[in-house]
Chains A and B, each alone.
Chain A
Amino acid sequence: MTDQALPASLRDAWRLRLPFSRRGRVLVAIRFAALLALVIVAIMTPGFFTAVSLFSLLNTTSFIGCVAVGMTFITLSGNIMSFALSVTLSTSGIVFIATLPLGLPGALVVAFAFGAAITGIQGAVVGYFRANPIIVSMAALALITGGATLITQGQGVYPQGEAAAALKGRILGIPMPLAAFIVTVVVSQIVLSFTRFGRQLYMVGSNWRAALAAGLNPARIVLGAYVAAGLCTALAGILMAARYSSGDLELGIGYDYSAISAVLVGGTAISGGEGSAIRSFIGAFIIAICQVLLLLHGFSTQIQYLAIGVIVLVVIMLQTLADAE
């Protein structure tokens, strides 16, 4: 009965609802088989369980993971994904580095506000004008890239002083990016499961018209989802800029794709209204593990891209099949 004490959305993050139909069960079985295969390959791969590869695995996963959790808010709200989170990440990093003369707290506030604002504007356009989210995010990608290139002249920015060094250390022995990722997942999941906003986000993602008819303000909730996405992404951007001691438009390239892969592999529904931050956390790790395994087996980066592409295709096909029930 402890189960009863948890809200449904959090419970669903753990519990697999076993479908009645044979096809549904087969689909669940496929997922578990894939996971099992992954674990077996990992165990059999020499060098996987070494400190070095695990450490680098956790670090790369942390950055992608933060973006993935941000993306989860957008996906849950019924707006599929955003192509603009990659440049949000890199420009937040640039803003952070550029405002470091204000001191670390000031730079953090400005960078977070920047990330929340540029993503929030997209959310407002998507929410209030009901514009197609994919197109809006592509337009935002072009606008932000163009604007940033214009201002930075395409050059990277480098910090003055050592104010950002504090973000490169460890907290309780945990590398900063990983700690930030875990905090992001926990906070996001709490927001999704235990707050009014979180619950309303599921409703809007599940059925916009019904949410409207129920007296909710769906546009505002979508805006909130985008702001949350912006904050998560800015966090990744700040930590990355601190880590590489530079802000550069190149930093985030490919991250929105990796993030949406993590969201989908984790099992959040592309049609919205179903999923969780914890699922995206798991998804990010599954993808990262695949990448590390391919690397350890000597496959090139190109092959890794191919593999991730195949995984995402398979996952989205499985999801569509399950939805067609």
Chain B
Amino acid sequence: MNATATARNAAAVAPADAAGTREAAASPPPVVGVRGLSKSFGPIAALTDVSLDIAAGEIRGICGENGAGKSTLVKILTGVYRPDEGSVLVDGAPAAVTTPRQAQELGIAIVAQELSLCPDLSVEDNIWLGSLRVPFLHKRPELRRRAAETLALLGASHIQLDAAVATLSIGERQLVEIARLLTRDARVLILDEPTATLTDVEIERIFAALQAVKRDGRSVLYITHRLAEVYTICDRVSVLRNGELVTTVALKGLDRAALIELMLGRPSGEMYPEEARARGAPALVVEKLSLPGIVDDFTMTVRRGEILCIAGQVGSGAAEIIAALAGLVYDADGRVTVNGRPLKLGSPAAAARRGIMFVSGDRAAEGVFRRLSVLQNLVATRLHDHSVLGFLRGGALRKAAARLASSVGIDRRRLRARAEELSGGNQQKLAFGRSIERQSDGVLLMNEPTRGIDVGARAEIYRLMRSFCDEGYALVMASSDLEEIVGVGDVVITLYRGRQVGHYRRSEVSMHRIVADITHPRDATS
């Protein structure tokens, strides 16, 4: 089976070569490339005839909507999937990348999203753990010196070699992970949405480290939905759409709207919805909410029809406030009323009874039931409304699911698919659809509503949020994406280390103010 695959690969190299050489002519010799890559899953073509090259010392962005083929490409490069057609080239020669281990030996390394470090071991041990270069008899001083050197190269000499990884921040762990890959002679580092859970300061550090990697002559493949980051860190960007490579362009001189248009295949239109049309009575009043050790004395009022954003970095307590209002924090304390009626904190069921609906940002852990069908996911919270004496009314449930699917823009033909077969954007719509419409004076809570969601689906989610608010919902969301906060918030509350810093209406809010508030330079000594 392997032999035929190789033969097919070899045949596919020829026609795509022309495009490859043209691209290569303008830049240093490619380290890694792919030629004529195609991969289907059943009837769905995830990649079709993709060819690209990554030059030595280049930071290449990969952009595209969810389902554009980014992760399939990465998985082929790292040996997780085998392509149906086409081949991977290393230093210009076809290479067999059939297992993750082979990929590592060829110098292609991925910085895992769920970091693959052992929390209880020291930084140094983690860097060398499982490395083929560690001889049977350890040359400890030498290994130690090289680990220190690698960290220094990344501008991370402040990380102690003897510290347990568990004591490091997520950003620092990512640096250790990168160091680990560099000591294994990784020549191409692949990062997939590395910044989603990082604070701004940490993001800066990662970027500095990537620049150092670049100066060292190695290459980086950078995948993100945050376009601002693409512009900050990348030299060129390859845009994928529906499994095909649209183009590879230099970022200099390419404006943002043009990039989005390349990704979507159409003009983007307005990303963010208009301001709230009408504001009604207070729907959710929070007084003196405190979460021991996290949030202190938090107060806010959310009106009907309004989107209130709580802005804060990871760890600021913004996400925890949302979780607490959803009843998911057991030691939360404070006075909360929904439509004038008091809410008992610490019970999700009590919150649901008051009309509070929670859409988690962590879809895998709290959002969708991956193994259940789209239909079952959509009606998960409304079984009570469609059952008689404990027996479900199948027809009513199907109708309800179909209606919800169309109101959040999920193809009704996919009702029977498993939730895990949907893209991230569609899964988020699923979680959204599940939470709406139970009562039109409800309160929607959202945590990072568009984490890991592409530009196209993002605009759709924002539109949905706005349209439900127009119908009378009040919406509270926590986000660490500043653009999003400025874009959708009618009211913005900024948070720094569990304390409220500022409170702005839409007309008063600016990126600059929010950044100043949530990083709080006055005592940001750490």
Footprint of B on A, CB under 8 Å?
4-9, 17, 20-21, 194-197, 199-200, 202-203, 206-207, 209-217, 269, 273-274
Contact = CB atoms under 8 A, between A and B. Distances in A.
Contacts of A4: 398
Interface in B343-371: 348-349, 351-353, 358, 360, 365-371
A209 B371 contact: no
A196 B371 contact: no
A76 to B, nearest CB: 11
Going nearest first, the 7 A-B pairs with the smallest beta carbon separation are A215-B352, A20-B42, A206-B369, A20-B41, A209-B366, A196-B383, A196-B387
B1 to A, nearest CB: 10
B126 to A, nearest CB: 24
B326 A195 contact: no
A7 B373 CA distance: 10
Interface of B is mostly: mixed
A202 B383 contact: no
14 contacts: A7-B392, A20-B41, A194-B394, A196-B383, A196-B387, A200-B383, A203-B372, A203-B380, A207-B365, A213-B360, A213-B366, A214-B352, A214-B381, A269-B371
Interface in B373-407: 373, 375-376, 380-381, 383-384, 387, 390-392, 394, 398
A203 B373 CA distance: 11
Given A4-B398, A210-B360, 11 more contacts: A195-B387, A196-B383, A202-B376, A203-B369, A207-B370, A209-B366, A210-B367, A214-B348, A215-B351, A216-B349, A216-B380
Interface residues of B, number: 36
Contact of A196 (B328, B353, B370, B392): B392
B70 interface: no
Contacts of A207: 365-366, 368-370
A206 B372 contact: yes
B416 interface: yes
Contacts of A21: 41
Contacts of B392: 7, 194-196, 199
A195 B434 CA distance: 19
A217 B434 CA distance: 17
Contacts of B434: 214
A268 to B, nearest CB: 12
A284 B419 CA distance: 30
A8 B416 contact: yes
Contacts of B380: 203, 211, 214, 216
Interface of B: 41-42, 44, 326, 328, 348-349, 351-353, 358, 360, 365-373, 375-376, 380-381, 383-384, 387, 390-392, 394, 398, 416, 418, 434
A215 B368 contact: no
Nearest to A191: B390
Contacts of A206: 369-372
A205 to B, nearest CB: 8
Given A194-B391, A213-B326, A273 B369 contact: yes
A27 to B, nearest CB: 15
B481 to A, nearest CB: 21
A92 to B, nearest CB: 25
A32 B485 CA distance: 54
Given A21-B41, A206-B369, A209-B366, A215 B348 contact: yes
Contact of B372 (A6, A202, A212, A215): A202
Contacts of A215: 348-349, 351-353, 381
Contacts of A195: 387, 390-392
B349 A217 contact: yes
Contacts of B353: 215
Nearest to A273: B371
Contacts of A7: 392, 394
Contacts of A209: 365-366
A219 to B, nearest CB: 11
A190 to B, nearest CB: 9
A169 to B, nearest CB: 32
B177 to A, nearest CB: 22
Contacts of A194: 391-392, 394
B31 to A, nearest CB: 29
A11 B129 CA distance: 47
A241 B349 CA distance: 43
A214 B351 CA distance: 10
Nearest to B369: A206
Contacts of A212: 328, 348, 366
B225 to A, nearest CB: 23
Contacts of B370: 206-207
Contacts of A8: 372-373, 375-376, 416
A199 B360 CA distance: 21
A196 B398 CA distance: 14
Contacts of A269: 371
